[in-house]
Chains A and B, each alone.
Chain A
């Protein structure tokens, strides 16, 4: 059983992703902001992948990304955002993938599969 952390300020997105990924057979945790996510990561609970939103109140995904890498260097992170322009921010290059949000989750699922199986 692989563990995935979903970080997104949009409750409905968190719900959609967790339900879909649970259906795919993953153990899903969610965090509504960066601080919550950091807490979960710091607790050293089993975690195989993070799906990270960028625009959030408080710390953004781009700011959170280096701290995640700092805490767990080998933890794969997929940036999942409504914005395309962050692709130009070289900080986002540190992520394992950059996926633009879509109701069609097959691209996300495909990337997750590539990264943790």
Chain B
């Protein structure tokens, strides 16, 4: 009895001690075997699947793998006890017993007595205790009771240990998840986040490494790849291929496998899918689970569960990080765009400061090539010449190599100097491209009103190869300058020296820039047109003012002239009377003659003034135009000869003109006088007559040319104005009277001024038979 009490005491001590579960089990079987005098005490544990019982602990010592004894449920004494939970005692000589319990021979060949007890509590069976002895033994009730009690205590300990184990695992899992949680909330930066996640996942699962792949939804290609630990080529490949097939098939990938690496070492893998909002985005995989003793281990169900949980946790944070990364990229892009827009605005501002084409071209070229601008290596502006239907290079420039010192706004305004030593800049002025489809890409830019981005000029059939060779073109952009749907020019840029690639975004910016540039060019063109028109208008206004002034002067002069004529008649008349009366040799005679002559001069002036201002009754008849000219010429022939002027005549046979011959004679006389005065050092007076066909009939024309050097431009617009004279002794009425006479004859007087050569006056008068109707009108018009 005291033995039993001693055993019980020892058992209680054992089960309340702090030693580990395995040790307790060891001690338990030893205690029983020794105290109950059995050769052997064995503990068989029920597998999780509850189908088989495995030898777990032996009082003989540690259970090696060669001692593996298995009893399926219901088989052998152990199996039966497990099924019925009743204790059984059997002997070897019992023929029903031996075969089923034969496996026991491997560890104890001489067994005679077998006693099995269920180790179970109210709910669960944990295993079976088997006592073995080589003698035939019987157990009394008290001992049986004691053993059952011990088994019950063991069951409690095992339950406790299992709970403890489970709790430990839970805690480990939870702390793993906590680590992951810490990792995912540690950063928004994708790369850092993935690194933290992978290292934490690997550590929590005791794996040597981890791999993560995320695929791009649009392309189906891996987008993000992150690795931790020593990743083998095969494992990365495995994951990628698994992922790709999963995306195609739509199945969620799950990997738990072992693969050899290139050196033949076997590695185990565990991979789970990463799902974002129900879509497969990638995979998380760990490999090479190591025990604390650095032995390779298989991944178990707990690991799987943990990894799945982790995947669920990290996916949303990875999603966030991806979004964050996208946002960051977007922000960066925006920032770049803002910078470009600022540059464009600066350029726009600079372009607004001027309307001078030359300056605008400089600003455009600066904007394209400045480091702080669009920073192309080379830029050329070509403009369309509509009349000749060609595209002509205007100016081109190389990027300045010196670093920019001025702010952009000022740098833009610096004049662009074409350097003679640059082959490109020297060649450029000769570049003219006919606007035809087959004349290369620049002509096409104009004709198709499209921007062309040529990446490989050498292989591009659209590019004119001569042009390519001349300017060493590789990648370049040709942008049309379009205003009001008209292409006015082309901008060409490239990065010939730096070979910097031109992106789509750059082309877009170029187009924006071209829009600004073309407006400035158009403005400049409009401005220069307006300026020219203004000049002309102010000239006309000046002339009109002068005419007004002259008209007023002429009215005044007329009034005065008439007032003067009466006294002049008296003075002159009496002077003549005196001159008749004084003797030929009288000293008074000369004086009187001076009076007479001066009065005559004044009267002549008056006649000119009054004849010019009034309308004379004409004597219109048909006259020979050539004859009138001859008559006028005879009047001045002697003066011409005296001035050493040769006369060249070229008269065509002409029908008669309808005119007042005296007036027309006056016109030509005037023209000849002017010619003579223009050629005071000699020259040639050429007179040519010829018929002219006009829309309203046939005219006779006479061209009177001198070699007097022409009329200075500043005087030209005044020559038909009355009182305008360059001569010291002229009335200034000659040409204005001539003009009035000719226009009264429905003719015209034109002037061709050749500076440095001479002047040609062309007088055209209507041929008689074509102006009958006009004459009738003319007469009606006369009061």
Interface presence of B531 (CB below 8 A): no
Q: Which of B599, B616, B782, B783 contacts A103 (CB 8 A)?
A: B599
Contacts of B573 in A (CB 8 A): 13, 16-17, 20, 103, 105
Which residue of the partner chain B has the closest CB to A86? B614
New A-B contacts (18) at CB < 8 Å, excluding given A88-B615, A88-B617 = A12-B567, A20-B573, A82-B566, A84-B614, A85-B614, A87-B614, A88-B614, A90-B783, A100-B565, A100-B610, A101-B565, A101-B569, A103-B569, A103-B572, A103-B575, A103-B600, A104-B572, A105-B573
**Do A83 and B562 have beta carbons less than 8 Å apart?**
yes
Contacts of A83 in B (CB 8 A): 562, 610
Contacts of B603 in A (CB 8 A): 102-104
Interface presence of B571 (CB below 8 A): yes
7 example contacts (A-B, Cβ-Cβ < 8 A) are as follows: A13-B570, A15-B570, A85-B614, A87-B617, A88-B615, A88-B783, A102-B569
**Do B783 and A16 have beta carbons less than 8 Å apart?**
no
Per-residue CB contact flags for chain A residues 86-117 toward chain B (1 = under 8 Å, else 0) read 01101000000000111111000000000000
Which residue of the partner chain A has the closest CB to B570? A12
Which residue of the partner chain A has the closest CB to B617? A87
A39 to B113, CA, bound (A): 198
A85 CB to nearest chain B CB (Å): 5
Given A90-B783, A104-B576, are A16 and B569 neighbors across the interface (CB < 8 Å)? yes
Of B569, B570, B600, B782, most buried by chain A (CB within 10 Å of CB) is B569
Q: Which of A10, A17, A19, A104 contacts B566 (CB 8 A)?
A: A10
Interface presence of B240 (CB below 8 A): no
B560 CB to nearest chain A CB (Å): 11
B606 CB to nearest chain A CB (Å): 9
Contacts of B575 in A (CB 8 A): 103
A39 to B574, CA, bound (A): 29
Q: For residues 626 through 642 of chain B, which have their beta carbon under 8 Å from a beta carbon of chain A?
A: none
Q: Which 5 A-B pairs have the closest CB atoms?
A: A103-B572, A82-B565, A12-B570, A16-B573, A101-B569
Given A103-B600, A104-B576, are A87 and B569 neighbors across the interface (CB < 8 Å)? no
For chain B, the count of residues having a C-beta within 8 Å of the partner chain is 27
Q: Which of A84, A87, A90, A102 contacts B572 (CB 8 A)?
A: A102
Given A103-B572, A103-B600, are A84 and B616 neighbors across the interface (CB < 8 Å)? yes
Q: For residues 541 through 598 of chain B, which have their beta carbon under 8 Å from a beta carbon of chain A?
A: 562, 565-577, 596
Interface presence of B611 (CB below 8 A): yes
A23 CB to nearest chain B CB (Å): 8
Which residue of the partner chain B has the closest CB to A16? B573
Which residue of the partner chain A has the closest CB to B783? A88
A29 to B617, CA, bound (A): 32
Q: Which residues of A contact B (CB under 8 A)?
A: 10, 12-13, 15-17, 19-20, 82-85, 87-88, 90, 100-105
A16 to B568, CA, bound (A): 12
**Do B611 and A103 have beta carbons less than 8 Å apart?**
no
B596 CB to nearest chain A CB (Å): 7
A104 to B783, CA, bound (A): 30
A10 CB to nearest chain B CB (Å): 5
Q: Which residues of B contact A (CB under 8 A)?
A: 562, 565-577, 596, 599-600, 603, 607, 610-611, 614-617, 782-783
A6 to B570, CA, bound (A): 15
Which residue of the partner chain B has the closest CB to A85? B614
Of A12, A84, A90, A103, most buried by chain B (CB within 10 Å of CB) is A103
Contacts of A16 in B (CB 8 A): 569-570, 573-574, 577
A55 to B596, CA, bound (A): 25
A82 to B610, CA, bound (A): 10
A105 to B575, CA, bound (A): 12
**Do A103 and B617 have beta carbons less than 8 Å apart?**
no
**Do B611 and A84 have beta carbons less than 8 Å apart?**
yes
Contacts of B596 in A (CB 8 A): 103
A7 to B614, CA, bound (A): 25
Contacts of B576 in A (CB 8 A): 103-105
Given A10-B566, A16-B569, A82-B569, are A104 and B617 neighbors across the interface (CB < 8 Å)? no
Contacts of B574 in A (CB 8 A): 12, 16
Which residue of the partner chain B has the closest CB to A55? B562
**Do A20 and B566 have beta carbons less than 8 Å apart?**
no
Contacts of B610 in A (CB 8 A): 83-84, 100
Which residue of the partner chain A has the closest CB to B573? A16
A10 to B67, CA, bound (A): 173
A17 to B566, CA, bound (A): 12
A105 to B573, CA, bound (A): 7
**Do B614 and A101 have beta carbons less than 8 Å apart?**
no
A102 to B603, CA, bound (A): 7
Given A103-B576, A104-B576, are A13 and B569 neighbors across the interface (CB < 8 Å)? yes
A12 CB to nearest chain B CB (Å): 4
A16 CB to nearest chain B CB (Å): 4
Contacts of A84 in B (CB 8 A): 610-611, 614, 616
Q: Which of A10, A85, A87 contacts B570 (CB 8 A)?
A: A10
A3 to B614, CA, bound (A): 34
Contacts of A87 in B (CB 8 A): 614, 616-617
A11 CB to nearest chain B CB (Å): 9
B537 CB to nearest chain A CB (Å): 36
B580 CB to nearest chain A CB (Å): 8
Which residue of the partner chain B has the closest CB to A53? B566
Contacts of B600 in A (CB 8 A): 103-104
B744 CB to nearest chain A CB (Å): 14
**Do B571 and A13 have beta carbons less than 8 Å apart?**
no
Contacts of B572 in A (CB 8 A): 102-104
A101 to B614, CA, bound (A): 16
A87 to B616, CA, bound (A): 8
A55 to B566, CA, bound (A): 11
Contacts of B568 in A (CB 8 A): 103
B734 CB to nearest chain A CB (Å): 19
B559 CB to nearest chain A CB (Å): 11
A15 to B562, CA, bound (A): 20
Which residue of the partner chain B has the closest CB to A12? B570
A112 to B574, CA, bound (A): 20
A26 to B308, CA, bound (A): 152
B663 CB to nearest chain A CB (Å): 14
A100 CB to nearest chain B CB (Å): 8
A102 CB to nearest chain B CB (Å): 6
B354 CB to nearest chain A CB (Å): 59
A104 to B722, CA, bound (A): 27
A81 CB to nearest chain B CB (Å): 9
Contacts of B570 in A (CB 8 A): 10, 12-13, 15-16, 103
A48 CB to nearest chain B CB (Å): 22
Contacts of B569 in A (CB 8 A): 13, 16, 82, 101-103
A100 to B569, CA, bound (A): 10
Contacts of A101 in B (CB 8 A): 565-566, 569
A33 CB to nearest chain B CB (Å): 15
A12 to B573, CA, bound (A): 10
**Do A13 and B615 have beta carbons less than 8 Å apart?**
no
A16 to B571, CA, bound (A): 9
A101 to B782, CA, bound (A): 24
A101 to B610, CA, bound (A): 12
A16 to B575, CA, bound (A): 10
Contacts of A13 in B (CB 8 A): 566, 569-570, 573
B261 CB to nearest chain A CB (Å): 127
A85 to B609, CA, bound (A): 12
Contacts of B614 in A (CB 8 A): 84-85, 87-88
Of B570, B599, B617, most buried by chain A (CB within 10 Å of CB) is B570
A13 to B566, CA, bound (A): 7
Contacts of B782 in A (CB 8 A): 88
Contacts of B562 in A (CB 8 A): 82-83
Contacts of A105 in B (CB 8 A): 573, 576
A83 CB to nearest chain B CB (Å): 6
A12 to B575, CA, bound (A): 13
A16 to B567, CA, bound (A): 11
Which residue of the partner chain B has the closest CB to A83? B562
Which residue of the partner chain B has the closest CB to A10? B566
